Amino acid sequence: MQKILGFIRKACEEYNLIEDGDKLAVGISGGKDSLTLLASLKRYQSFCGKNFELIAIAVDLSGGKNDYSEIEKFCKQLEVELHIIPSNVFEIIFDIRKEKNPCSLCANMRRGLLNSSAKELGCNKVALGHHKDDLIETFLLSLFFEGRLSTFKPKTYLSRVDITVIRPLIYCDEQEIMRVSKDYPILFNPCPADKHTERERAKKLLASLKTFYPDIKEKIFSAIIHPERYNLYDKLNK
């Protein structure tokens, strides 16, 4: 946990993620990343020198089929208020629309519900559990499927809902999160597309590249976060 707290401190200081007076909602999927983020931010709150509030929001995509009892206990132990937002996102995507590539629409609907719920609860920021591996995988997916050099940012202001999205785990490796979260009450993912997504393929591709180039992940990550290293084609200066 100390290592993760160090990464969170670094991200918060470099990108000014958390400020005095913030009311911060952590998006809880029930997976290892979001639970680690919640537990870490609760610890970080006690020593960071910033005066901010912390709550948790879980968007239930399954129409009430998920059992959040263990997550509720987890939040109670942390003394963090948990809000469960019911939705029928899975029904819309898989039963009504029968989406063949559901991930993008699902993510947009889930985050829309999360952000609007956070705003209704008086929050000005939403924290997501995306980590270093997610950043790199998103970069690869944007390159392969959109032909763009793009990925998410550590801090993004959404003017439409007046919410700032932050990602305090941006410097954390997934392996470290897995180690810390092994005793957390991980919620079963009922999504029919789980483990059968393009993101999962990107993860496997990265793992295979690592067998030939052991530091490939660090190289890609460093290239992303250091814009001074960019040396791309500029059609204005051929």
Domain limits, the chain: 2-226
For the chain, the C-alpha Rg in angstroms (whole number) is: 18
CB contact at 8 A, 131 and 3: no
CB contact at 8 A, 157 and 114: no
CB within 8 A of 14, min separation 6: which ones? 154
Architecture of the CATH domain 2-226:
3-Layer(aba) Sandwich (3.40)
Structure tokens belonging to residue 58: 């879980």
CB within 8 A of 222, min separation 6: which ones? 229
Distance, in Å, from the CA atom of 217 to the CA atom of 89, rounded to the nearest integer, reads 33
CA atoms within 13 A on the CB side of 124: 9
Per-residue pLDDT of the chain (238 residues; tens, 9 = 90+): 999 999 999 999 999 999 999 999 999 999 999 999 999 999 999 999 999 999 999 998 877 778 899 999 999 999 999 999 988 777 777 767 776 667 777 778 888 999 999 999 999 999 999 999 999 999 999 999 899 999 999 999 999 999 999 999 999 999 999 999 999 999 876 666 666 688 888 999 999 999 999 999 999 999 999 988 888 776 555 5
Q: What is the pTM of this model?
A: 0.90
Query: Residue 168: left (phi > 0), alpha (psi -120 to 50), or beta?
Result: alpha
Beta pairing, strands 163-166 & 155-158: antiparallel
Which pLDDT belongs to residue 154?
96
Distance, in Å, from the CA atom of 69 to the CA atom of 82, rounded to the nearest integer, reads 11
Which pLDDT belongs to residue 52?
97
Which pLDDT belongs to residue 191?
65
How many Cβ atoms sit within 10 Å of the Cβ of residue 112?
15
